[in-house]
Chains A and B, each alone.
Chain A
Amino acid sequence: MTAKQRGIWVFGDYRNYFQNRVTLQLLSRAKDLAKKIDAEVCAVVFGYKTDEWRGDVLSYNPTFCGVVGEYIAHGADKVYLADDPRLAAYSMETYTLLMERLVKREKPGIILIGATAFGREFAPRLAKRLGTGLTADCIGLDINSEGLLVQIAPSFGGNLVAEIVTPERRPQMATVRPGTFQEIPHDYVRTGEVVKVPLPKSLPGDRVRLVRSEHRPQRDQKLEDAKVVVCGGRGMGSKKKFVKLFELAELLGGEVGATRPVVYADWADHDALVGQAGKHVRPQILFSFGISGAIQHTAACNDAKFIIAVNKNPNAAMMKRADVAIVADASQICNSLIQELKRRIR
């Protein structure tokens, strides 16, 4: 098998570029994996005039040199590029067909796709089209002694972790959530090959048509994507005291979540509900104020990397699950934290 056949491909999901750097993160991980099996790392880009594509990236990154350039600078050895006006907007049916043709021609060993909304729909369709297996939302990827891609994914609300392989079918496919891997710093000295992908003369008529698309940039940062979440429960005492959590969250650059009783008591909007019937959060740090920890709630914040819980009752379920359990009045701690943060953040 040649390096090409051991190719690790990453789908270039560029339309949310700066907010969502998952493609860059995957390229970086692909590079590490590629070393273990001597494979080449390729990015696949379908679009129109992608080298002119800017989005609002320049406001963040003045050295941005176009999608293809960025992918090479972040680890791609090769970029397969299909550039055509018919690809100006993402299209599930067209992209699936193009990818299918490309894969059948080039036969990569592994395809990684970022678990964006598009990726999570695209990957299963593609896997089915190619007759291969797919593991969703991997929290880790590795290569084992047999050279197989080990797909590490959570199951059952994050309480268990599974290691999965695709022993026979090819390519091996996985989707990975943004933020799982770290991107390598861009290296503009790197060079790579750009391979133009021709389109068939006629594309299948789209049975799904995009009627309207409005870009709603991430100023309303979703609770689910927040790196810091401040959750409050009935232990906060009253609506007036609960509302202080918003001040704390703002200092921390995070979002406020609430439990069901709090939403019912109208201390917070239904949008803030963190629970089985509400939102699932995956922050780096979760502050849990005055929450006893009903299963419906804890199941939705199990993925938090570090939990600081505050409750008068040391035996509350949330306190037992926390990395730091503070036995005190939730509202008082909230106020003290606000004061202390104001002091420390200049």
Chain B
Amino acid sequence: MDFNPCMKHKVVRKAVRMFAEAELAPIAHDIDRDARFPWEVMEKMRPLHFFGLQAPKAYGGAEMDTISYAIVIEEISRVSAAVGLCLTVHNSVGIYPIVRFGTEEQKNRFLPAMTRGERIGAFCLTEANAGSDAGGVETIAVRDGRDYVINGTKIFVTNGGVCGTALIFAITDTQNPQRSAGVFIVEKDNPGFAVGEIEDLCGMRANPVSSLFLEDCRVPETNLLGRSGDGIKIGLATLDAGRIGIAAQALGLAQAAFEDSVRYSKERQQFRKPISSFQTIQNYLADMATEIDAGRLLLYRACAVKDAGRPFGAEAAMAKLYCSELATRVTNLAVQIHGGYGYSKEYDVERYFRDAKVTEIYEGTSEVQRMVISRAVLARRT
């Protein structure tokens, strides 16, 4: 077990950090303030394979290993969690299900535009009555000849406002929702597909989270991923992969808050000393550093298990649970360390604080993660 990062991971981290500092850092504050999706940075990201991080080369992807992927998401999120969110949702829950469950024809049809970043992906599960309870989904896809006609409303869709390719979780038989669920690929220019208003959120504001309306939205049966009834299986596998990305995103947030806290505590003087010389602050910093390191190791372990081809659901849930909760703790401490300045928009920590909270909620709330972990733990033979 070698805990030292290999040269590749070091180089990937540095390359992405340099990109993020050069292209994203100057606008990170403003895109949050204005809730503006930074298209100009997306343009720069496209030729660099940010939109096809793990996708196979045959479809235009970079085919990166999962730790490299996590590093990319972490480094982007360290500068702008909202942009990191866009990338991880696109890669993990947009592209990944198609790669894992799609037919060759589907992969050829949908992936190239996605890996080129021409179409941004979104996974649409949540509805007004279906949050943690995926069984409450009411979006219905009715067979009509060789097509399906989809009706329903999805809410809180990350990337909703800019998505080009949406994966819609719908049921096909109201009598038998669990067994009849399916994931349908719907492109935005498809008639019957409309984007609702962008949500006005506490954090991740540069990400256009919105509702999606499907009104008599007709798609050919070749847009169904897998078979009718595969929905739950695909959904669960997709969320497992998504959790690794969210863990990385939360970690990036925590890392940024931590670095700012270290820097600030060395500069800020009170009682004629830098506050970093006070034990209380030192304790805070020690706790932050330890947690972040622990989260990172959990995350990379989940990545390694995934790459080894073994089931990684519990490990991913642990990483997501731990990293999201540490993100809220660390960003909260960061604001505290900055004192009054931490509450001001002149500093970045209040943005990290606002951004962090939702990592405990989306892609499976912390309560759901605990469900997943406890089930795995109880199922294991001791």
Contacts and interface: CB of A to CB of B under 8 A. Distances in A.
Question: Within the complex, are A and B direct neighbours (CB within 8 Å)?
Answer: yes
Contacts of B267: 315, 317, 320
13 contacts: A260-B22, A260-B25, A261-B26, A261-B27, A264-B26, A264-B27, A277-B22, A296-B21, A313-B341, A313-B346, A315-B267, A315-B268, A315-B341
9 A-B pairs with the lowest CB-CB distances in the bound complex, closest first? A261-B26, A264-B26, A315-B267, A260-B26, A315-B268, A264-B27, A313-B346, A320-B267, A313-B341
Contact of A315 (B26, B27, B264): B264
A337 interface: no
B8 to A, nearest CB: 25
Interface string B324-364: 00000000000000000100001000000000000000000
Nearest to A276: B22
Contacts, number: 23
B30 interface: yes
Interface of B: 21-22, 25-27, 30, 264, 267-268, 341, 346
Interface in A282-330: 296, 312-313, 315, 317, 320
Interface in A253-286: 260-261, 263-265, 277
A277 B346 CA distance: 25
Interface residues of A, number: 12
Contacts of A296: 21
The residue in B264, B341, B346 that gathers the most chain A C-beta atoms within 10 A of its C-beta is B346
A37 B21 CA distance: 52
Contacts of A265: 26-27, 30
A226 to B, nearest CB: 24
Nearest to A260: B26
Nearest to B347: A313
A260 to B, nearest CB: 5
Contacts of B30: 265
Contacts of A313: 341, 346
A263 B22 CA distance: 12
Nearest to A315: B267
Contacts of B264: 315
B218 to A, nearest CB: 43
Given A315-B267, A320-B267, 16 more contacts: A260-B22, A260-B25, A260-B26, A261-B25, A261-B26, A261-B27, A263-B26, A264-B26, A265-B26, A265-B30, A296-B21, A312-B346, A313-B341, A313-B346, A315-B264, A317-B267
A277 B267 CA distance: 26
B173 to A, nearest CB: 52
Nearest to A259: B26
Contacts of B25: 260-261
Contacts of A261: 25-27
Nearest to B30: A265
A329 B22 CA distance: 27
Nearest to B344: A313
Contacts of A320: 267
Contacts of A312: 346
Contacts of A264: 26-27
Interface in A204-254: none
A232 to B, nearest CB: 14
B342 to A, nearest CB: 12
B141 to A, nearest CB: 44
A261 B22 CA distance: 9
Contacts of B27: 261, 264-265
Nearest to A320: B267
A261 B23 CA distance: 9
A265 B30 CA distance: 9
A229 B30 CA distance: 27
B278 to A, nearest CB: 16
A317 B267 CA distance: 8
A260 B26 CA distance: 7
Contacts of A315: 264, 267-268, 341
Contacts of A263: 26
A6 B341 CA distance: 62
B368 to A, nearest CB: 39
Contacts of B26: 260-261, 263-265
Nearest to A277: B22
Contacts of B22: 260, 277
A315 B25 CA distance: 20
A312 B346 CA distance: 10
A264 B26 CA distance: 7
A296 B23 CA distance: 13
B26 to A, nearest CB: 4
A277 B22 CA distance: 9
Nearest to A235: B346
Nearest to B263: A317
Nearest to B27: A264
Nearest to A311: B346
Contacts of A260: 22, 25-26
Nearest to B264: A315
Nearest to A295: B21
A237 to B, nearest CB: 12
Contacts of A317: 267
Interface string A140-160: 000000000000000000000
The residue in A263, A277, A315 that gathers the most chain B C-beta atoms within 10 A of its C-beta is A315
Nearest to A312: B346
A315 B26 CA distance: 20
Nearest to B269: A315
B260 to A, nearest CB: 11
B276 to A, nearest CB: 12
Nearest to B28: A261
A321 B21 CA distance: 22
A180 to B, nearest CB: 33
